[in-house]
Amino acid sequence: MFQQLLIFLVLIEALLACIPTQQIEPPTEAPFPCNVCSKIYNSGCQGFGLPSASNWCSTAAQVPVSYTLGVGPSEASSLPDVCSSQFTCPAGTFIKVTLINGVTVISGNTNGAPQVVYCFETGAYAATWWVHIDDDDHSYDISSIECKNL
């Protein structure tokens, strides 16, 4: 009888025990390799629904945005010492580009091609970010870029 009671109590304790939950880590950004150029993706973006359901942008980790240091993309004339990135915005968002004057906002590529941004690490335009818009085959100097809700 005592043995059955002990088994019963062990089973009850096992049933009432806390079951650990799986910790899901949010996506993280890749290391930033550039020296002179700073990150260009809007660090104020908080992710889906924040700060509100009608006004939000994806975080850099959600996009994801990664940077490369070396020979630039063809849009940067394939020059050395270029910090660059190519990314495509997640579904439900579009590429919002703020030009260097901080006022003018334009849409990025609307043709589905990855968005290309680049920054020269040396020379007259060092530390200035540029975006290449395929739709008009033109590059613009920019102050930020983000994947904004539609």
User: Structural domain boundaries of the chain?
Assistant: 29-149
> Residue 129 — φ and ψ, nearest 5°?
-90, 145
Q: Which residues in the chain show pLDDT less than 70? A: 1-29
Q: What is the pLDDT of residue 74?
A: 80
Please give the Cα distance from 87 to 46 (Å, whole number). Answer: 18
Please give the Cα distance from 145 to 12 (Å, whole number). Answer: 56
Alpha carbon separation from 100 to 16, 59, 85, 89 (Å, rounded): 60, 21, 18, 21
Q: What is the pLDDT of residue 20?
A: 52
Q: What is the pLDDT of residue 65?
A: 92
| Best CA proximity match to 45, nearest among 95, 109, 120 | 95
What residues form DSSP beta bridges with 86?
116
